[in-house]
């Protein structure tokens, strides 16, 4: 089975490369990653590698599939935010502005950030994932609400670099 950290690392590597598609099989699991123009897809399936023995009559072979798609509109030249850097969610999960409900927010509009500045947390499968700015600049806008479900590739912040 693929670990969430392994999948995240593969998604990041593919995103930063010119590869358009990657398919890996490991321990009976198959992971397919595709990078089309405006839709990112992640498809994870499980089917026994040794399928010479059929499932008992009346039962289906164990197969699980998850597909995540995120439609991102292309930035138009008229768009005021086209020149701003977008910090996007690296995964599907719940967005949090602060490390705890009673703590101050990580960043707000007007705050200066560096590449390693933690800007938010995205909770996925009970794991709290700190998201870093990865650019140096000033936060212009927070695009999501605290506690909101976010998609893979969804813009979270706009930063003037």
Residue 132: phi and psi, rounded to 5, are -100, 155
Q: Mean pLDDT in each 10-residue stretch from start to end of the chain (161 residues)?
A: 76 73 75 60 47 48 43 48 88 94 95 96 93 94 95 94 89
Helix segments in 3-142, DSSP class H: 4-15
pLDDT score of 79: 56
Q: How many helices (H) and strands (E) does the chain have?
A: 1, 12
Q: Which CATH number fits domain 85-160: 3.40.50.2020, 3.90.380.10, 3.30.950.10, 2.40.50.100?
A: 2.40.50.100
Please tell me whether the overall predicted TM-score, pTM, comes out greater than 0.85 for this model: no
Domain ranges of the chain: 19-71, 85-160
Helix segments in 86-159, DSSP class H: none
> d(Cα 9, Cα 103) in Å, to the nearest integer?
29
């Amino acid at each position: 089975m693929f670990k969430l950290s392994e999948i995240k690392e593969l998604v990041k590597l593919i995103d930063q490369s010119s590869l358009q598609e990657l398919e890996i099989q490991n321990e009976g699991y198959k992971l397919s990653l595709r990078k089309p123009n405006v839709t990112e897809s992640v498809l994870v399936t499980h089917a026994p590698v040794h399928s010479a023995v059929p499932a008992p009559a009346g039962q289906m072979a164990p197969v699980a599939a998850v597909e995540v798609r995120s439609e991102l509109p292309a930035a138009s030249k008229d768009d005021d935010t086209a020149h701003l850097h977008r910090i996007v969610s690296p995964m599907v999960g719940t967005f949090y502005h602060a490390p705890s409900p009673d703590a101050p927010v990580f960043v707000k509009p007007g705050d200066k950030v560096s590449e390693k500045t933690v800007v938010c947390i995205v909770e996925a499968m009970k794991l709290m994932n700190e998201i870093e700015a990865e650019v140096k600049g000033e936060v212009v806008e927070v695009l999501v609400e605290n506690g909101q479900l976010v998609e893979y590739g969804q813009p979270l912040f706009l930063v003037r670099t």
